[in-house]
Chain A
Amino acid sequence: MAGPSSAGRFRTPMSRARGLGASRHGVGHFITERVSGLALIPLSLWAVFAGLRLASLGFDGAAEWVSIPHNTVLLSLLIVVALIHLKGAVQVVIEDYIPDFTLKTVLVVANLFVCVLGGALGVVAILKVAFTGAL
């Protein structure tokens, strides 16, 4: 977008009549992706470290490790932030490659549901182990 002239040239009559452009919502997705991405730099480096640690622990060791407060919190944050980031990233891929409106909408909503479900399952499982210990 190189200034108002080219922006005006490629707008449809409908969008010109509405006069809204992106209704000031266009930048929200972008900022979410960038901020969650930055948060994921330390979180995913920690995840690699955690994975190395957990690989040599058995069930009891892993359950004990998860119940240490900072591990509980970082694991939960990792799942939540990663899924916020990936939900947005995969939504862009869907929007780029699926031109059909109905299919696109179904996939975007399914993407949201899958991410929320996966995140909720993961976080509740971690909290259960952290609060009630190994079975």
Chain B
Amino acid sequence: MTETRGGLPERPLSPHLQVWRWHITMACSILHRATIISLYVGVLLLLAGWALALASGPDAYACYTGLLGSVLGKLVLFGLTVAVLFNIAYIVRQTFWDAGKGFTPKVADMSGVGAIAFAVVGAIVVWVIAAQTGAL
């Protein structure tokens, strides 16, 4: 894209990831994409899979919940809890952006930190509640 063809003005390119110093808004953006991909797999496999297992009868359901209850299953579920909560916070953040608010570096940094903190603290709270209600 560096050469101009047919008299077109050279189009602007955004700087590549590698030339930027890591900062919180960029980390949030990348984390958002990562959580979207994990939720995609999560909703398709875990949620739709759970419904299918339930519709397939007690044996399939026991097998499925056995998988989810394993150490790896719990790790995946904890990760998905973080991802769900992070996306809730991110949607709120984007809605403020749509209203034209929250773009100053300071506020954008704070809302980014807030989204990550909400996700991590919220997920820990959910899992403490799960442990106390005997859901684990």
Considering the chains assembled together, what is the distance between the CA atoms of A126 and B51 in angstroms?
Answer: 6
Q: Chain A 37-72 against B: per-residue CB contact (8 Å), 1 yes, 0 no?
A: 110110011011001110110011011001000000
Interface membership of chain B positions 48-76, coded 1 if the CB is closer than 8 angstroms to chain A and 0 otherwise: 10011011011001100000000000000
Q: Is B26 interfacial (CB 8 A cutoff)?
A: no
Whole-angstrom CA separation of A129 from B39 in the bound complex: 24
Stretch touching chain B among A18-26, A83-91, A100-108: A83-91
- Taking the closest CB of chain B, its distance from the CB of A114, in whole angstroms, is 7
Main secondary structure, interface of B, reads helix
- Taking the complex as formed, is B19 at the interface, i.e. its CB lies under 8 A from any CB of chain A? no
Q: What is A's interface to B at a CB cutoff of 8 Å? A: 9-10, 12-13, 34, 37-38, 40-41, 44-45, 47-48, 51-53, 55-56, 59-60, 62-63, 66, 75, 78-79, 82-83, 86, 89-90, 93, 114-115, 118-119, 121-126, 128-129, 134-135
In the assembled complex, 30 residue pairs joining A and B whose CB atoms fall closer than 8 Å, in A order, are A9-B9, A37-B91, A40-B87, A40-B88, A44-B87, A44-B88, A47-B84, A48-B84, A52-B135, A53-B135, A56-B133, A56-B134, A59-B58, A59-B62, A63-B54, A75-B51, A79-B47, A79-B48, A83-B43, A83-B44, A86-B36, A89-B36, A93-B33, A114-B44, A118-B43, A122-B51, A123-B51, A125-B52, A125-B55, A126-B54
* B residues at A contact (CB < 8 Å): 6, 8-9, 11-12, 33, 36-37, 39-40, 43-44, 47-48, 51-52, 54-55, 57-58, 61-62, 77, 81, 84-85, 87-88, 91-92, 94-95, 98, 126, 129-130, 133-136
